[in-house]
Structure 1
Amino acid sequence: MNDLLPSPTRRQLLAMIGKTAGAAAMYQAMTTLGFASESSFKQEMTLKGAPAGASIVILGAGLAGLTAAYELRKAGYKVTVLEYQNRGGGRSWTLNSGDKYTELGGEQVTCNFQKGNYFNGGPWRLPIHHYAVFHYCKKFNVALQPFIQTNDRAYLHRTNHFNGAPQRLGDVQNDIRGYVSELLSKAMNKGSLDDAVTTEDKEKLLVGLKGWGVLDNNYRYVKSHETSKHRGYSVYPGGGLMPDAQPSTPIPRDKLLNSEMWADIYNNYTVHVHQPAMFQPVGGMGK
């Protein structure tokens, strides 16, 4: 009797990795398996030599199917594309105001958001290494615009921390940098790193940490006008009869560490495909 469990499919394996280790690990696994490597596209393919009267059937009108159909027709083939859905584009689709779609469970959803707004139901950004996609966007005059991948004024949220109040991404990022600089500066001033660096290197590093972490003259990360220039003010500076600028208060170090928000702030910098610059088609991925 064989008690071995059946091997998971690639999709199931990647889903398990994503659920247990996060998006970065899943993407690394996809890259290792050859599913997410950088595009090898250099130039538009030149197909030719189609036998007279030859025809090809392509299953699926996603980007790959449509691109194959376009190139094969140029080569002289008669091409038929079969698509199960009532639209082309595959995963790349855009829902506009007034659109209706039916979910897998059978429920019909009406998009009643304000006219002019849209929602990308699949992919919603183009990383810089998708060379073939950019090539065809240019070829077919699909207008592109920058996609704002990282917004320091966006919020991070932890239900069980800060009384449920969301915290600005930029505030968390600057406060973490400040506290790390403060702790490292204290370690260096106590001689903890004397075996690793020379006196001259120590002085240079302290100067760098003071500037990088926005520390005061005692190498502390505390509420000040200088820290507020980075993390933002509670009352912003103005002119005339406007009130004087009031510095903002950093999130207490212990509360910040306990919230583990630091784990969220590096996603856009540690995964190569999430790094700026990113782009999106004007009007949605359905374009």
Structure 2
Amino acid sequence: MMILGSLMYASVFGNVSAIIQRLYSGTARYHTEMSRLREFIRFHQIPNPLRQRLEEYFQHAWSYTNGIDMNLVLKGFPDCLQADICLHLNRNLLNSCPAFSGSSPGCLRALSMRFRTTHAPPGDTLVHRGDILTGLHFIARGSVEIVKDDQVMGILGKDDIFGENPLLYDDVGKASCNVRALTYCDLHKILRDDLLDVLDMYPEFAENFCKNLVITFVLRDDTQSTRKRFDKHKLLRMSSSLNRDLDDVRAYTSQFRHIPTSAELGGSPLTKDEATNAPSPSSADSAASTHAAVASSSKKSFAEYNEPSTSPGQ
């Protein structure tokens, strides 16, 4: 009984000490990172309003992630495993949004790899008026307000979407309103270029996405013109077309290029001295005469090779 009691005593207090040590290590990491942030603020002389926003964001992000940088963790795994992890982390968004319904597993894996999660404390401005609309935002938690000229245009909550549909416009738009967080918010964002890449790889998904995507608030300002961005896929197609044209030109001109053979030149092939592995004098003279003949042959005009052959009777 004494041995059993000793084992139970060691087990209980061993687990308690391990829990305390784990809690202490998490607290120590938090204070270490906070000290680094404050040192950064002090070194760069960040003003107080911005300092408060930095510290508040850090505290909110830490409570959400426990100080674990998911991007840093994923880098240590192969792409196939990264896709599975990202698919698991974004499963709620992909299952709840009608725009992603009916997508193939490969398409969902490609999409999940391109989503990024952002956090915002209350009062933080996510989008400023006039900003370039670089992507679509999906609200996972919290609420935001849409403000224009100090007037609230709308309030968005969980599962709402704001931004613009990149399939409807050839150029990148600018924001017509400010988007400000009312509560602690977690948002999933996918960049415009990343979304277009997936739509280009899965054209069957593009049609379904454009038909089912419902943006709660379109931020695009039609009064502000933006410079049209050149489609990189169109650029690649033009480049490949140009390469094909160049290949056709080379193939066409190669039929007029005539390289005389050694029999036509009346010379012997280049030989090497067996002892020194160097060209023999006779072969060197033959090579020189061959080079001269090729040079003289290359000076013939394009018309000489293209003039029609005449029969003796003509």
**What TM-score do you get using the length of structure 1 for normalisation?**
0.21
More RCO (CA 8 Å, sep 6+): 1
**Greater gyration radius:** 2
Of Structure 1 and Structure 2, the greater helix share is in: 2
